[in-house]
Amino acid sequence: MTPLPSAQRLAGLCTTAAHAIALEIVAETGSTNVDLLARAAHLQQPTLLWAQLQTAGKGRAGRAWHTPAGAALTFSLAWKFNLPVQGLLGLPLAVGVVIAEALRTFGVDARLKWPNDVLKDDGKLAGILIETVTDKTGRQATWAVIGIGINIAQASGLSMQTGRAVVAATELAAEPERAMAALLDGFAQALPRFEQQGFAGFVDAWNALDAYAGEPVNILDQGQVLHTGYAAGVDAGGRLLLDTAQGRITVLAGDVSLRIRED
């Protein structure tokens, strides 16, 4: 059995800003998001829960997301924002920026796909699922549990499971603790900035990493085409900008998805 990463070693790799995050590493759990959501009301500080295997992992819209042990970095980060839940608009996109920028320091050509995927070579490299719990102390505060899965080993079953190409950042497989430290450092700097600036503080970085800028795309809702046009980045609220035959429109995330269009 592969030994667990060391929380002590991980802490030593992080910068001072990330030392406020409690580090928990487990061999297996059902879902790191579910675990931290259940504990959010009692957490005293930002908390990382990193599982080597999740047996009931989930993706966007409740879709199952299962990976073999050691094939992915699967973790959740609970973070308390002094904001109402409406103030977290655009947070999944800001998280995507943090992930992509951290991975690029390891030589991974990570790009972003609206609303919450990280890509490499046109395949899905990482997914993001954020769930929230309102703080019960009477203040306008919200715990966000940021669930992330980053593929680090090739797993053909994932492509079959999702019905789309899934790729891996194999560059991270040999040094997962260093990769996690880079991610935590990124979050420790970015999430306080998000609390102050919202997604407006990340919009330029997101657009610079946009995998589909200028590409012909369809916007789908449960397989049905809602809009067709050319992707034009996102605005400061995290809405997709789409240039259509009728002019530019904005698209809210909801449960719609973006697909490249074959002209």
Residues recognised as catalytic: 60, 124, 259
Q: How far apart are CA 24 and CA 153, in angstroms?
A: 22
- Cα–Cα distance list, 144 to 131, 153, 191, 243 (Å): 6, 28, 11, 32
Spell out the SS3 assignment of 2-29.
CCCCCHHHHHHHCCHHHHHCEEEEEEEE
Q: How far apart are CA 255 and CA 21, in angstroms?
A: 31
- Cα–Cα distance list, 23 to 32, 181, 230 (Å): 13, 11, 42
Q: How far apart are CA 6 and CA 119, in angstroms?
A: 28
Neighbours of 83 (CB within 10 A): 18
Q: Which helix (H) or strand (E) holds 32?
A: helix 32-39
